[in-house]
Amino acid sequence: MREEEIEKLRGVVRDCVSKHLYSSAIFFADKVAAFTEDPADIYMQAQALFLGRHFRRAFHLLNASKIVLRDPRFRYLAAKCLEELKEWDQCLAMLGDAKVNEHGYVLDNKDHSGMYLDKDCEDREINIAAATCFLRGKAYEALENRTQARLWYKAAIKADPLCYEALECLIESHMLTCDEESSLLSSLQFGPEDGWLSSFYACLIKKYDKENIIEERFKELERESCNSKSSDPSFIRTLETNTDLLACKAEYYHQCGEYQKCFELTSVLLEKDPFHLKSTLVHLAAAMELGHSNELYLMACNLVKDYPQKALSWFAVGCYYYCIKKYDQSRRFFSKATTLDGTFAPAWIGYGNAYAAQEEGDQAMSAYRTGARLFPGCHLPTLYIGMEYMRTHSFKLAEQFFVQAKTICPSDPLVYNELGVVAYDMKEYNKAAWWFEKTLACVPSPLSEMWEPTVVNLAHSYRKLKVYREAIAYYEKALALSTRSLSTYAGLAYTYHLQVFFLCFLVLLLRRSTRIILLQPLHTTIRHCG
């Protein structure tokens, strides 16, 4: 067969793949490889077999090739076949013996020295080394070696910042702390045309920094779009209304305690894209906080119908039962979510919370400890362990876990609030006031009703320290946030009472030391005060 006829057949194979006619692609690719015996055509045949889910046959074809261990493309595709077959040890063996250091740099990279181009493609491509590192990470994670998985995911994103899947695994599985995420992003080598991507990645990581820093990240991404307005006006419109970017903003609102704002944004996003799962997760979390049980019920029904094998679907069912205070059923569905996906952090936290709601501390602690072990970059399991110790009045242990949570995420105001609470319970009122002030300093302004208990706690601390003027000011500030708290009114009244008593006591001391003759109304006040 002539070369031009073979090239036409190659075009047929590529067209069949693009139209998802995989059996046709396999048939014609097999004939092209038989005519030419060219390694590139053998690779194309293996690709067609892989896409047609003939993983064992594709692996056999690649493994029989004499260049499978010399060409990184052949080795990578063979390893992908073993991944689909869940043969993880063989997958790692196929990828070779490269090592990675603690900073995510590959020590032996001789087989993956550069990028490659397919015959039909001259576009920019992701480095094959990055794809190989990512596959190693997936294999190690499947083998429950999360330490090695984390290092290889870092190596993948460092080898090529375009390897988004590696960053997604690091973020979604909470493998890195806040500081580690920031450090990783700062170490990436973006191309001159990738300024927008750098800004986008900065919006994906944990959003516990100060309000002005977070807002600047979103504005920077918008400014990056504006710079390209003259060259490609459609890009700005697409990016500014992009669902992923708006989902990041919704996450930020949720972490700030702006649950209503978050819920409204995710509602709009889900109308635009009902199957955007990241927006769905944030929407469920906001609905939980707001007590929208009807919304949770509808979401859970739709998710179970559309995604019965996803942990998110059964997590939604658990959220509904938790919201209506049926904790036994809630635990059952949270447990099912963890069974379907053991790396789904919200399900482990919900599982522990369902136990904690019924004061079943041992089971709650077990769930939280599992979450802390699986997700070293997530401070919430550690924080909830501290809360459980608080419930049993083990204040020193609680403080240790709160400090550990602060180490993992040093900018979450909720951690500082809990440190203030434990200091108050240990009667260290100066320390408690300091932590509560630090909490409010980290909270975006203006304060939402969510932070009213922190303001009240600070007022209590000042009252204990006999700084009555400051205490009264914070009680009044708390009442401005929520007028329905009877305990705040009681605290304010008691502080006024103590302030008058303290003034009277000072007057008595002054009278005794200087023998000043007091006016009659003041005598009366002192007599009534005690």
CA distance 360 to 431: 31
CA distance 314 to 312: 6
Of 56, 57, 63, nearest to 29 by C-alpha is 57
Of 468, 470, 520, 528, nearest to 504 by C-alpha is 528
Question: What is the model's pLDDT at position 108?
Answer: 66
For residue 429, being part of any structural domain is answered with yes
For residue 525, being part of any structural domain is answered with yes
Last residue of some domain: 46, 80, 96? Answer: 96
Residue with the two structure tokens 């079943």: 360
Q: How many structural domains is the chain composed of?
A: 3
For residue 417, being part of any structural domain is answered with no
Question: What is the model's pLDDT at position 527?
Answer: 36
CATH of the domain at 522: 1.25.40.10
Q: What is the pTM of this model?
A: 0.84
- Do 67 and 38 fall within a single domain? yes
For residue 145, being part of any structural domain is answered with no
Tokens linked to 12: 């047929």
For residue 347, being part of any structural domain is answered with yes
DSSP letter assigned to residue 291: T
Q: 209-223 burial by CB neighbour count: b if 16+ within 10 A, else e?
A: beeeebeebbebbee
Amino acid 289 reads E
From the centroid of its chain, how far is CA 110? 35
- Do 430 and 400 fall within a single domain? no
CA distance 268 to 381: 31
- Do 402 and 296 fall within a single domain? yes
Last residue of some domain: 58, 80, 96? Answer: 96
For residue 125, being part of any structural domain is answered with no
Whether 286 contacts 254, CB under 8 Å: yes
CA distance 320 to 434: 38
Element spanning 205, H or E: none
- Do 482 and 382 fall within a single domain? no
Of 192, 219, 218, nearest to 205 by C-alpha is 218
- Do 296 and 387 fall within a single domain? yes
CA distance 335 to 466: 49
For residue 483, being part of any structural domain is answered with yes
- Do 305 and 366 fall within a single domain? yes
Show the domain range for 327.
291-406
- Do 5 and 57 fall within a single domain? yes
3-state SS of 97-116? CCCECCCCCECCCCCCCCCC
- Do 473 and 369 fall within a single domain? no
Beta bridge partners of 89: none
- Do 360 and 455 fall within a single domain? no
- Do 433 and 399 fall within a single domain? no
- Do 360 and 402 fall within a single domain? yes
Tokens linked to 143: 């083998």
In tens digits, the chain (530 residues) has pLDDT values of 688 888 999 999 999 999 999 999 999 999 999 999 889 999 999 999 999 999 999 999 998 887 887 889 999 999 999 999 999 999 999 998 888 888 888 886 554 443 333 444 446 788 899 999 999 999 999 999 999 999 999 999 999 999 999 999 999 999 998 888 989 999 998 888 888 888 888 888 877 766 667 777 777 776 665 554 445 555 444 567 788 888 998 998 888 878 899 999 999 999 999 999 999 999 999 999 999 999 999 999 999 999 999 999 999 999 999 999 999 999 999 999 999 999 999 999 999 999 999 989 899 999 999 999 999 989 999 999 999 999 999 999 999 999 999 998 888 889 999 999 999 999 999 999 999 999 998 887 788 888 899 999 999 999 999 898 999 999 999 999 888 888 888 888 888 888 776 667 666 666 665 544 343 343 433 333 33
Question: What is the model's pLDDT at position 320?
Answer: 96
- Do 460 and 396 fall within a single domain? no
Cis peptide before 446 (omega within 30 of 0): yes
- Where does residue 151 fall: left (phi above 0), alpha (psi -120 to 50 degrees), or beta otherwise? alpha
For residue 137, being part of any structural domain is answered with no
